[in-house]
Amino acid sequence: MNILSVDFFADNAAKRFTDSLKKTGFGVLETHPINWQLIEDIYTEWRDFLNSNAAKKYHYDKSTQDGYFPLDVSEIAKGENTRDIKHYYHLYFPWGRYPQEVSDKAKILFEQLFELGKTLLQWIDDHMDPATAKKLACPLVDALSFERTLFRILNYPAIKGDEPDGAIRAAAHEDINLITLLPVASSPGLEVFSHHEQKWYEVPCKPQSIIINIGDMLQEMTAYEYIATKHRVVKPKGEAQGLDRMSIPCFMHAKADVFLSEKYPTADAFLQERLRELGVA
């Protein structure tokens, strides 16, 4: 599986990026306009916060899906029976609860990632098959919602060896949204599945890169021209004992009333179905 690494500032970046998405469901920006020091700082301060008692004050709200999701309510991937080994915090701007115990760096990073995501969706719009583009209710960049886009700050605890059978950090799944922007995590472990070869591949994790993948909403909107690819997070071979993993995906979501397909007339109907399937709604 040839997931392309793209220089964001190169003349051919948009073409290389969208070609990689169409072929693999993934693309990697090896250069980009994001301030990487923000990411390192967020990994440090949110690791401490998520593992403190303070996080429990912000227990997630089922109706709004914002706040802290502890290990015992972590997602069960669609088709799986065992909870992922992770706990995390859902940030929504401007309306979601933002912890007083951390700096405003996550807010600043979210705004940078959102602007980058808009650019990437414009690239996808510009390089879409014209026949597919004609069928869209609106261009992807116009379908995007700031208020519904989710910034998730994740901590995968160190693997102890006594986890339930079948448990891994994040079981095989596709994302719900349009596209996901994932700054490379604090340690490796992200894998993507090739249906053609029936084989798992490690996603390139170049230092300071950003990984992008297609979500199910984009798949539905484009009638499968862009296909969401299964991925998972595992403990890589040779990982040091006692090593946890920080990850901060930004899930770019469509506006609630955006038409996806005949099966899913609105993005909100699709989202609510998936949240029920994940066991968090």
Which of residues 78 and 144 earns the better pLDDT score?
144
Average pLDDT over residues 7-21: 97
* Token output for 135: 């069928």
pLDDT for residue 238: 61
pLDDT tens-digit profile of 271-281? 989 888 877 76
pLDDT for residue 163: 55
Coil vs helix vs strand at 42: helix
pLDDT for residue 188: 80
pLDDT for residue 127: 95
pLDDT for residue 164: 54
The Cα–Cα gap between 89 and 129 comes to 37
pLDDT for residue 165: 46
CA-to-CA dists, residue 278 to 45, 79, 157, 169, angstroms: 28, 9, 20, 15
pLDDT tens-digit profile of 23-35? 999 999 999 999 9
Q: Please give the biggest Cα pair distance in the chain.
A: 53
pLDDT tens-digit profile of 122-134? 999 999 999 999 9
pLDDT for residue 179: 98
pLDDT for residue 220: 93
Q: How confident is the model at residue 80 (pLDDT cuts 50, 70, 90)?
A: low
pLDDT tens-digit profile of 161-175? 665 544 577 777 889
* Token output for 67: 């706040």
Q: Rounded to two decimals, what is the model's pTM?
A: 0.92
pLDDT tens-digit profile of 227-250? 898 988 887 666 666 788 899 999
For the domain bounded by 5-278, which CATH number is listed? Answer: 2.60.120.330
Coil vs helix vs strand at 173: strand
pLDDT for residue 65: 93
Which of residues 280 and 222 earns the better pLDDT score?
222
pLDDT tens-digit profile of 175-211? 999 999 999 988 888 888 888 888 988 888 889 999 9
The Cα–Cα gap between 256 and 275 comes to 14
* Token output for 243: 């090593």
Give DSSP secondary structure letters for 123-153.
HHHHTS-HHHHHHSSS-HHHHEEEEEEEEEE
Average pLDDT over residues 142-147: 98
pLDDT tens-digit profile of 41-73? 999 999 999 999 999 999 999 899 999 999 888
Mean pLDDT across the chain, nearest whole number?
90
Every domain of the chain and the residues it spans:
5-278
pLDDT for residue 69: 94
Encode burial over 134-150: b for 16+ CB neighbours within 10 A, e otherwise.
eebeeebbebbbeebbb
